[in-house]
């Protein structure tokens, strides 16, 4: 029993990753849109857990806040607004269903074969850590957050500012698009 637990502990990433894929499968296969959103939520939480397994603590928390907290709620609102039962879906899948699914499976197979034949090196011995004089008295999580902020503001300052402008444009654009038209 202990051996089983330690095996699971070593392969925690695999467990979370497969659960995320299962949530994604529920998302694209379920008949009700609300169930799809719930599958999406489960998948996003599991992806956040995967991030934590890869020692990206800051991004894992950001993923939980942005996706599970923001985007899923937005989706749920729009599903409630739009997806009324009076317009029952005529059929769940598109007509090219029979063609697209084998294509996707073939592509996945090609990827799997490629990844199996290309072996990448082992993990870096220490997950992202600050230099010792900066890291004094900080927990691993705080170190990761500081590390990401240094990388972001030192190397990616211009993209970050462009991103903020894009978010503003998206905000205003969404407001304009979704506003009801008044008859004057």
Partner 1 sequence: MISLNTVLFISSLMFFIGVAGVLIRRNLLIILMSVELMLNAANLNLIAFARYSGTVEGQAFALLVMGFAAAEVAIGLALAVALYRRKDTVQADDINLLNG
List binders of partner 1 among 33-62 (CB under 8 A). 33, 36-37, 40, 43-44, 47, 50-51, 54-56, 58-59, 62
Distance of closest approach, residue 33 Cβ to partner 1, in angstroms = 6
| Residues 127, 114 contacting (CB under 8 angstroms) | no
Token pair of 71 as six digits: 């985007």
Q: Distance between CA 66 and CA 144 in Å, rounded?
A: 18
Of residues 15-34, those binding partner 1 (CB under 8 A): 17-18, 20-21, 24-25, 27-28, 33
Residue 22 burial (CB count, 10 A): 14
* Nearer Cβ to partner 1 (109/139): 109
Q: Which of 38, 83, 135, 138 binds partner 1 (CB under 8 A)?
A: 83
- Residue closest to 129 by CA, chosen among 112, 109, 150, 154: 150
| Residues 27, 41 contacting (CB under 8 angstroms) | no
Distance of closest approach, residue 3 Cβ to partner 1, in angstroms = 18
6 binds partner 1 (CB under 8 A): no
């Amino acid at each position: 029993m202990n051996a089983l637990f330690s095996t699971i502990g070593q392969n925690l990433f695999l467990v979370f990753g497969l659960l995320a894929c299962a949530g994604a499968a529920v998302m694209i296969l379920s008949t009700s849109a609300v169930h799809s959103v719930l599958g999406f939520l489960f998948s996003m939480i599991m992806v956040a857990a995967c991030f934590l397994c890869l020692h990206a603590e800051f991004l894992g928390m950001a993923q939980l806040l942005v996706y599970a907290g923001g985007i899923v709620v937005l989706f749920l609102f729009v599903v409630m607004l739009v997806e009324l039962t009076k317009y029952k879906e005529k059929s769940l899948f598109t007509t090219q269903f029979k063609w697209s699914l084998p294509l996707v499976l073939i592509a996945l197979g090609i990827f799997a074969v490629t990844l199996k034949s290309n072996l990448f090196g082992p993990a870096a011995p220490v997950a992202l850590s600050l230099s010792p004089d900066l890291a004094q008295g900080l927990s691993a999580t705080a170190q990761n957050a500081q590390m990401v902020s240094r990388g972001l503001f030192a190397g990616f300052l211009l993209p970050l500012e462009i991103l903020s402008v894009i978010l503003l444009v998206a905000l205003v654009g969404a407001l304009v698009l979704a506003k009801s038209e008044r008859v004057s």
